[in-house]
A and B are shown apart, each in its own frame.
Chain A
Amino acid sequence: MSRRLASLLALFALVTLTGARDPILVPEVSQHEVNLQQGFTGTELLLFGAVLTPEGSRAAQDYDIVVVLKGPTRSIVLREKQQIAGIWINAASTEFRSAPAYYAIASTKPISEIVDDKTAAIYELGLKWLQLSPIGAINPEEQARFSAGLVDLNRSNGLYREEEGGVKVSEQVLYQARIDLPSSVLTGTYTAETFAISKGRVVASASSKVEVRKQGVELAIARFSDDYGFAYGLLAVIVSVGMGWLAGRLFALV
């Protein structure tokens, strides 16, 4: 903490000496590493930092703060169930080349009150503006339906979140937002971006990284399963036969 304070003070000094025009953002994340291992049931990340005017004084009231935590993007196929002959089966599908595995946005005010649609689209501020890169020529209406479906699905899984008013600014200089990561998060490099917005214009932004990864036994198991399928299968067979046999022997004693 004292190091952060020191860097803050250094910036303070820098700003007062140079008198730059853009506001200064000093973002920080409570955890730069999230380890998926035994006992992990999800976690809460604290995205916080300071925002200063170019003169180096506190004046956060002039800025709206938006923080975005975004997971790695990947290609996915999204399928839609339709009722055919009385049963619900996957009837339509589309592919997205860059669906983020996780996306959370928190802001001081509803996004629509902070920026116009164009700016929101450019900076991907909000689930509505995610650039999912659908593959194949499907009509815009259908595309919109699928995109909305993907967002809804992930919202109910807790992997996409929108928290308007989730950013709290105290003393007009320190901001903070709490963002939940559920236990089903995927591994990869997550980026935490902070935007300072004034009069509908993004005046400063800064980003930092959060590594989500498996560790220890969990990492070993996942690697073992992926790289040495045969040995892993043998192990599973030995464990199951061994436990069945052992239980039989133990109960024979009772």
Chain B
Amino acid sequence: MDVYLPIANLSVNGLIIIGLGAITGVLSGIFGVGGGFLTTPLMIFYGIPPTVAAASAASQVTGASVSGVFAHSRRGGVDYQIGSVMVAGGILGTGIGAVLFNLLEKLGQIDTVINILYVLLLGSIGSLMAKESIQSIRAERSGVPVAARKRRHHPMVASLPMRWRFYRSGLYISPLAPLILGMCTGILTMLMGIGGGFILVPAMLYILGMSANVVVGTSLWQILFTTMATTMMHALTTHAIDIVLATMLLLGSVTGAQIGAMFSQKANPVKLRLLLATIVLLVAARMALGLGYRPDEIFTMAPL
């Protein structure tokens, strides 16, 4: 099925794109992450221009997180108060991201920066996740439970001025902390086309110290609105969203997300985490290889 992409200016096999969306959709359904970290690099490997890939992936993450937000809000798993602070930060972040994007593109370093960010982020988060899940698998086998981590926020958070009460998260902290966190993921969303769920969730748990039952729902809430803001930002600045590409990705990913969600209820969560960690590390390794090996084409061209 050949589909001509009017913004990317090339023709692709539609089934491959839908399949790609479906794979990331299944992952997002299983793990509760947006899957953007997988879509963007895979699209770039397939030959879609990096800017178009990053811009179009954000809308796919929006689609994949919608049903998750509904599900979590129904059972009270979203802290709207802290979530809205994070969304405000996220929107701010997309603005900063757009400026950075423009600047890096002018300097010709956008691809390298995106690649390095991928390697660093995916590498560190992936190893953390892998370490944790291996520990819990060992603990399960030996029967000695891992000592539960004491829930508290990072000392740096405590030193920020002005404190608000966030009741559902059980926090009394400065709103600047979630604002900055939201801002950072907003920048990443704009630059990398990822939702940032796999960074947000650990950050909300271990840096903000939010109570675990609202973490996933609130992160999805933040991702939903930040990716929407990113889509708008790309539409206004880079003009690189290919709606035909995005629709095909969405078609695969929203279906995949539902299938993944069904599957995740049956599977062992610890093993799932290890699997996700492996996938994340594989993507990071592939990106690292891409940086270190001599590329096939050492020249790249951009219109002036």
Query: Can you show 20 pairs from A to B with CB atoms below 8 A apart?
Result: A41-B11, A76-B303, A77-B108, A78-B301, A86-B291, A87-B116, A90-B108, A153-B300, A156-B296, A184-B10, A226-B239, A229-B235, A230-B232, A240-B60, A240-B250, A243-B254, A244-B66, A244-B250, A245-B66, A248-B70
Give complex CA distance A79, B304 in Å. Answer: 12
Beyond A83-B294, A225-B235, A236-B59, is A39–B108 a contact (Cβ under 8 Å)?
A: no
B228: which of A79, A80, A241 is its contact (CB, 8 Å)? A241
Proximity string of chain A (202-216) to chain B, C-beta cutoff 8 Å, 1 when within and 0 when not: 000000000000100
Whether B4 sits at the interface, judged by CB under 8 Å, is yes
Residues 208 to 237 of chain A near chain B (Cβ within 8 Å)? 214, 217-219, 221-222, 225-226, 229-230, 232-237
Residues 74 to 118 of chain B near chain A (Cβ within 8 Å)? 108-109, 111-112, 116
Whether A42 sits at the interface, judged by CB under 8 Å, is yes
B258: which of A75, A81, A247 is its contact (CB, 8 Å)? A247
- Chain A interfacial positions (CB closer than 8 Å to B): 36-42, 74-83, 86-90, 93, 95, 99, 146, 149-150, 152-154, 156, 183-184, 186, 214, 217-219, 221-222, 225-226, 229-230, 232-237, 239-241, 243-248, 250-251
Q: Give the residue name and chain of the B residue nearest to A35 (CB).
A: B4
Q: Which chain B positions have C-beta within 8 A of A37?
A: 4
Of the stretches B135-143, B181-189, B241-249, B275-283, the one at the interface is B241-249
Q: Give the residue name and chain of the B residue nearest to A187 (CB).
A: B9
A244 and B232 within 8 A (CB): no
Q: Which chain A positions have C-beta within 8 A of B262?
A: 251
Give complex CA distance A114, B145 in Å. Answer: 82
- Distance in angstroms from B269 CB to nearest chain A CB is 21
Q: Which chain B positions have C-beta within 8 A of A99?
A: 301
B291 and A221 within 8 A (CB): no
Whether B169 sits at the interface, judged by CB under 8 Å, is no
B254: which of A183, A232, A244 is its contact (CB, 8 Å)? A244
- Distance in angstroms from B130 CB to nearest chain A CB is 24
Q: Which chain B positions have C-beta within 8 A of A41?
A: 2, 4, 11
A233: which of B236, B292, B294, B299 is its contact (CB, 8 Å)? B236
B243: which of A226, A239, A241, A250 is its contact (CB, 8 Å)? A239
Give complex CA distance A248, B11 in Å. Answer: 30
- Distance in angstroms from B115 CB to nearest chain A CB is 8
B254 and A87 within 8 A (CB): no
B108 and A248 within 8 A (CB): no
Give complex CA distance A153, B108 in Å. Answer: 17
Give complex CA distance A239, B297 in Å. Answer: 36
Q: Which chain B positions have C-beta within 8 A of A214?
A: 6
Q: Give the residue name and chain of the B residue nearest to A227 (CB).
A: B239
Give complex CA distance A38, B70 in Å. Answer: 36
B6 and A149 within 8 A (CB): no
B292 and A86 within 8 A (CB): yes
Residues 261 to 304 of chain B near chain A (Cβ within 8 Å)? 262, 291-304
B302 and A76 within 8 A (CB): yes
The 6 nearest A-B residue pairs measured at CB? A233-B235, A244-B66, A248-B67, A247-B254, A183-B11, A244-B63
Q: Which chain A positions have C-beta within 8 A of B250?
A: 239-240, 243-244
B7 and A183 within 8 A (CB): no
A218: which of B4, B233, B254 is its contact (CB, 8 Å)? B4
Beyond A77-B301, A86-B292, A245-B67, is A233–B243 a contact (Cβ under 8 Å)?
A: no
Beyond A240-B59, A243-B250, is A232–B241 a contact (Cβ under 8 Å)?
A: yes
Beyond A233-B241, A239-B243, is A81–B300 a contact (Cβ under 8 Å)?
A: yes
Give complex CA distance A236, B108 in Å. Answer: 28
Q: Give the residue name and chain of the A residue nearest to B259 (CB).
A: A251
Beyond A152-B299, A243-B63, is A225–B304 a contact (Cβ under 8 Å)?
A: no
B291: which of A39, A40, A88 is its contact (CB, 8 Å)? A88
A95: which of B3, B9, B234, B304 is its contact (CB, 8 Å)? B304
Beyond A74-B303, A218-B6, A247-B67, is A239–B246 a contact (Cβ under 8 Å)?
A: yes
